[in-house]
Structures are given as structure tokens and as C-alpha cells.
């Protein structure tokens, strides 16, 4: 009798459980992790600014070179150089922030990986290079708000998010520059690109939008993607944003407010220097270095004008000689100085 009762009870429980499973709503997105809380961010020992500082004895660059900045990984040739950064971070238990930018047809101009297979192989190589460490990965700045965003690109991004997340990495999809797309379109693209498997999204990477405006826009996007947290790039957004026509290496700009993992802003995981302060936007016909290269004149201008820096740091830069780029020929043949 007791066996029969137990058997009947077990059957009832199993049937009830199966019935509940059949009516369970769709699975919720994975629980969001918070890797930046209490974290110490890694300072990159291979920053181009740091190399220039050492070669020229430029102590005035300390406000830039002593602070954590993201490491950009723009293709397979950048992977071997990761080892030194990862080893240095291991010694201090610091969180490394990586920026991955190798999508096919990057910038809608044919740059990046040759095709989806090459991109997938690159992401796999990156995962193996990182190994059992955990990093924060900002995925594909400019990839989501581009005019050439389509189903194929969305699928590539979603696959990369999944692969990185499955390997234990903290993924933040780049949401683009604030207000370039409307909030609903941005959220829809984030959904298509796999935000459900990511920790959150990044805002204003490489941009000059003020933090408060980036934050407001990011909150509106977050409301439509399950309250996901954001990262905000503050590397060069101090002061009024320049006009679009004058946004290429604008002179007399100030250094952005410093990186912090305690931003005290709703749903902001961290304020970061994603774009490197002092990095050139390219040749703007005034003698500037190529895109991505360190531009000491730009860095000097930024340091001496940073409103948040201690007076000593600004004065140390102001008392040093401003690094001047070579004169460049203007449209009319006359020399142009940056």
C-alpha cells in the first residue's frame, strides 16, 4: 500500500512539474554581472603616449599615461601584443578593457575582416589568446549605428557576443554615438546583435558628447533592453562639442574627465577612456599624424586645459615647450600650422 501511494504521489508530482514546464514563460535573459564594481582597471604598459613620454622625458604627460585606457584589437596582428598587457594585469589582479574592431566592411568602406568566416576565426583566436582570464570587451565601435548595418552584420555580432560570453568574458556592445540613431532603432539593433547575452552597451566611443547627454540617451536605450548597464567614453568630451565640420583633431580641447569604476550615475558601470587621449583623428591637412597615432601637440593642449586636473599638473605642462608638428602646405600653397 505504501509503495502504491508513493508511486502515485511521484507520478502526480512529475505530471504537475511537466504541466508547469509546459506553461512556463520564455526564459529570461541571463543575470547581469557587474565586473567593474570594486575593480582596479589595468594601465597599459604599451601605450603610444607612454613610449613618447619616455623617449622625450615628458613628465607633463603623467595625467594621461598613468591612467587606465582600453586596448584596441583591430585584427589578427594585434593579438600577439596582448600577452604583455594580460600578464601585467595578472600581477595586479586588474581588469583589462579590450576594444574589438574587425567587422567585415568596417566603416562601410571595405575595411576589417575579409568575410564572416575570417571574422569568426579572429574571435576564436582572441578567446584562445585571453585563455581563462576575464576581460571586459567593448564590441565593434561604429558597427551598430552604421548605414550598412544589416541582418548579416547583426548575426556576426550576435555570434561574437555568444562566443565571448560563453568563454567568460564581459561583453558590452557598442551602441554608437548618442543621438545618431533614435532610441527605438538603437535598441532594436542591440536586440538583433545579441544584447541579451551581453552585460550591457557602450556609448560615445571616440565621441565628444558631454557625459550628461550621453547618460540621458543611454538611459532611454537601457529602458528598452531590460535595464542593461552602459559604459561611457569620457576621454575627450570636456567642453562644448565642436561643430561637425571642425571635429577632426579640433585644437584647444581639454582632457576628458578621468576613468572611474564609481561613476555614481544610474545604470552606468564605468566611465572609461576608450579612445586614447592625444590620439590623432588622421591628417586634417594641418600636418597631423595618421589616424590612430599619438599626437603630442593634441595631448599637450588637452592637459593644460583640463579643468579637473590639479594646478601642478597643468602648470607642469604649461611650463614645458608645446610640441609643434611640422608646417603643412595649405590649399593655396601657403604653410599651415596646427
pLDDT tens for residues 87-121?
A: 999 999 999 999 999 999 999 999 999 999 999 99
- Residue 135: phi and psi, rounded to 5, are -125, 165
3-class DSSP assignment, residue 262: coil
In 3-state terms, what secondary structure has residue 177? coil
pLDDT of residue 317: 96
More confident residue, 6 or 115: 115
d(CA 193, CA 190): 5
Q: 36-324, which class in CATH?
A: alpha beta
- pLDDT bin (cut points 50, 70, 90) of residue 17 is very low
pLDDT for the residue numbered 287: 82
Averaged pLDDT for residues 63-90: 96
Nearest C-alpha neighbor of 28 from the set 196, 140, 182:
196
Q: What is the predicted pLDDT for the residue at 245?
A: 63
- The gap between the terminal CA atoms of the chain, to the nearest Å, is 95
The pTM of this model reads: 0.89
Q: What's the confidence (pLDDT) of residue 296?
A: 96
Predicted confidence at residue 332, as pLDDT, reads: 65
Q: How confident is the model at residue 19 (pLDDT cuts 50, 70, 90)?
A: very low
182 pLDDT above the threshold of 60: yes
Q: What angle do CA 214, 311, 297 make, to 5 degrees?
A: 65
What does the DSSP 8-state code read for residue 284? Answer: -
pLDDT at 307 > cutoff 70: yes
Kind of pairing, strands 170-174 and 200-203?
A: parallel
Write the CA distances from 110 to 103, 105, 148, 189, integer angstroms: 9, 4, 11, 21
Q: For residue 83, is pLDDT > 90?
A: yes
- pLDDT band at residue 34 using 50, 70 and 90 as cut-offs: very high
Using 50, 70 and 90 to split pLDDT, how confident is the model at 20? Answer: very low
Residue 24 has pLDDT above 70, yes or no: no
Orientation of helix 151-166 relative to helix 183-192, angle to 10°: 60
Provide the pLDDT confidence category of residue 327 given band limits of 50, 70 and 90: confident
Amino acid at each position: 500500500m505504501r509503495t502504491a501511494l508513493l508511486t502515485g504521489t511521484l507520478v502526480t508530482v512529475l505530471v504537475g512539474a511537466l504541466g508547469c514546464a509546459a506553461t512556463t514563460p520564455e526564459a529570461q535573459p541571463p543575470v547581469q554581472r557587474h565586473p567593474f564594481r570594486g575593480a582596479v582597471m589595468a594601465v597599459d604598459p604599451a601605450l603610444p603616449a607612454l613610449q613618447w613620454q619616455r623617449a622625450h622625458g615628458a613628465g607633463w604627460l603623467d595625467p594621461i599615461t598613468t591612467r587606465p585606457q582600453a586596448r584596441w584589437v583591430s585584427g589578427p596582428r594585434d593579438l600577439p601584443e596582448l600577452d604583455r598587457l594580460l600578464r601585467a594585469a595578472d600581477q595586479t589582479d586588474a581588469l583589462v578593457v579590450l576594444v574589438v574592431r574587425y567587422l567585415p566592411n568596417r566603416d562601410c568602406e571595405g575595411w576589417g575582416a575579409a568575410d564572416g568566416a575570417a571574422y569568426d576565426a579572429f574571435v576564436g583566436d582572441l578567446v584562445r589568446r585571453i585563455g581563462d582570464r576575464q576581460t571586459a570587451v567593448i564590441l565593434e565601435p561604429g558597427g551598430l549605428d552604421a548605414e550598412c548595418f544589416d541582418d548579416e552584420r547583426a548575426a556576426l555580432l550576435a555570434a561574437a557576443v555568444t562566443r565571448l560570453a560563453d568563454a567568460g568574458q564581459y561583453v558590452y556592445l557598442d551602441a554608437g554615438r548618442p543621438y545618431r540613431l533614435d532610441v527605438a532603432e538603437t535598441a532594436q539593433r542591440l536586440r538583433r546583435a545579441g544584447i541579451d547575452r551581453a552585460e550591457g552597451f557602450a556609448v560615445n566611443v571616440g565621441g565628444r558628447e558631454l557625459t550628461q547627454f550621453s547618460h540621458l540617451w543611454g538611459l532611454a536605450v537601457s529602458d528598452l533592453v531590460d535595464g542593461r548597464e552602459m559604459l561611457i567614453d569620457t576621454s575627450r568630451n570636456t567642453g562644448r562639442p565642436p561643430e561637425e565640420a571642425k571635429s577632426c583633431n579640433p585644437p584647444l580641447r581639454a582632457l576628458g574627465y578621468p576613468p572611474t569604476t564609481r561613476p555614481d550615475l544610474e545604470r552606468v558601470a564605468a566611465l572609461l577612456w576608450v579612445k586614447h587621449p592625444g590620439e590623432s583623428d588622421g591628417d586634417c591637412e594641418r600636418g597631423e599624424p595618421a589616424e590612430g597615432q599619438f599626437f603630442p601637440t593634441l595631448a599637450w593642449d588637452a592637459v593644460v586645459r583640463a579643468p579637473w586636473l590639479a594646478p601642478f599638473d597643468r602648470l607642469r605642462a604649461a611650463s614645458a615647450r608645446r610640441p609643434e608638428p611640422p608646417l603643412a602646405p595649405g590649399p593655396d600653397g601657403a604653410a599651415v600650422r596646427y
